Structure 1
Amino acid sequence: MSAALPVETTSAPPRRITIAFDGACLGNPGPGGYGAILVNETTGAEKIVKGRETATTNNKMELSAAIAGLNSLRPGAHVTMLGDSQYVIKGIAEWMPGWKARGWRAAGGKPVANVEQWRALELAVARHASVAWTWVRGHAGHELNERVDRIASGEAASA
């Protein structure tokens, strides 16, 4: 007869992460870049995620920044997303339910632009315990927004 192993009864505190995200494009379309700064609210530790494309749009880069930030975390985090893109924030928080109900068509009946990225963002959000979206005015002195803007702009310039 073997003894039962002790059951772990403690659980880790919830991971609370803030992600500042931004996209940039030189021309629209043109070379683009994105960046995300992930901040662990408990430890203050930061992680930077960035990328670039040679031919893209600003909206696609904004979406790519949010997706990359969320996907770079282990699932189950409580996330606050900070961004200056009303396109992304209103899209995920307000417009997406209507788009889905209409078969990914906008209110005027046209197909939703960047539908692949919207679907990827929806999946990235679903990986986490909660995701809250906060709009910040761009180029208004918000430290994380200014930093992530420099990262995205640098990636666009290097594309």
Structure 2
Amino acid sequence: MNDQLPQVEIYTDGSCLNNPGPGGYGVVLLAGDNRKELSGGFERTTNNRMEILAVIKGLEALKKPCRVNIYTDSQYVVNAISKGWAKKWQKNNWRRNGKEKAKNPDLWQILLQLCNQHQVNFIWVRGHSGNKENERCDRLAFHAAQGSDLEEDIGMDN
């Protein structure tokens, strides 16, 4: 562990109206006195894709290697990284087992690469439980999903 790296706190959330349906992500980055908020929406996606994409967008916003605490209410994301599921799926050519394909391999691939660039610690927070930054991410994601200029989620059906 490199204590010389800058410390960043990243809060993330994904939202999907219907599932699949219009969706969005919200991110809050905190580093010292600096704060940055990110959000974006897609016309047809899933909640899980938006949860993963929120983490990706947060990590992509970092300009250099950092020590990062990522707070998310997605146990899917926390477990896939912390328990090594995503690395195992990658090693097995994006299969969960002999027959079943892993979902969202395009996003997991990017997230695994980003996790290698930083010292990342994933922390699960209960959604809608009063955590100020998680609630802010939820609002950002929900409003992004309702936007009028939604992007196409090109990896949605892969």
Indicate the residue corresponding to 2:153 in structure 1: none
Matches within 5 A, 1:127-142: 127-128=117-118, 130-142=119-131
Matches within 5 A, 1:49-88: 49-88=38-77
Considering only CA atoms, is the larger Rg found in Structure 1 or Structure 2? 1
Indicate the residue corresponding to 1:146 in structure 2: 135
Provide, for residues 12-42 of structure 1, a one-character-per-residue CA deviation record: whole Å limited to 9, x for no partner: x5210000000000010100000110000xx
Distance in 2 between residues matched to 1:66 and 1:19, nearest whole Å: 8
AA of the residue aligned to 2:135: E
AA of the residue aligned to 1:126: N
AA of the residue aligned to 2:110: A
Distance in 2 between residues matched to 1:21 and 1:123, nearest whole Å: 18
Indicate the residue corresponding to 1:118 in structure 2: 108
AA of the residue aligned to 2:59: L
Indicate which of 15, 18, 26 corresponds to 1:24: 15
Deviation at 1:116, TM superposition (A): 0.3
AA of the residue aligned to 2:145: A
The structure-2 alpha-carbon separation of the partners of 1:27 and 1:108, relative to structure 1 and needing over 3 Å to count, comes to farther
Asked whether the equivalents of residues 22 and 41 of structure 2 are also in contact (C-alpha less than 8 Å), the reply is: yes
Indicate the residue corresponding to 2:92 in structure 1: 102
AA of the residue aligned to 1:59: N
Indicate the residue corresponding to 1:93 in structure 2: 82
Detail structure 1 runs of 4+ shifted over 6 Å in the superposition. none
AA of the residue aligned to 1:156: A
What is the percent sequence identity of the aligned residues?
Answer: 40
Distance in 2 between residues matched to 1:27 and 1:84, nearest whole Å: 18
Distance in 2 between residues matched to 1:108 and 1:151, nearest whole Å: 38
Deviation at 1:150, TM superposition (A): 0.6
Deviation at 1:107, TM superposition (A): 3.2
Does residue 47 in structure 1 map to residue 43 in structure 2? no
Deviation at 1:56, TM superposition (A): 0.5
Distance in 2 between residues matched to 1:145 and 1:58, nearest whole Å: 16
- For normalisation by structure 1, the TM-score amounts to 0.86
Structure 2: which 5+ runs fail to align?
Answer: 151-158
Indicate the residue corresponding to 1:34 in structure 2: 25
User: Number of residues paired by the alignment?
Assistant: 144
Structure 1: which 5+ runs fail to align?
Answer: 1-12
CA-atom RMSD, angstroms? 1.2
AA of the residue aligned to 1:32: G
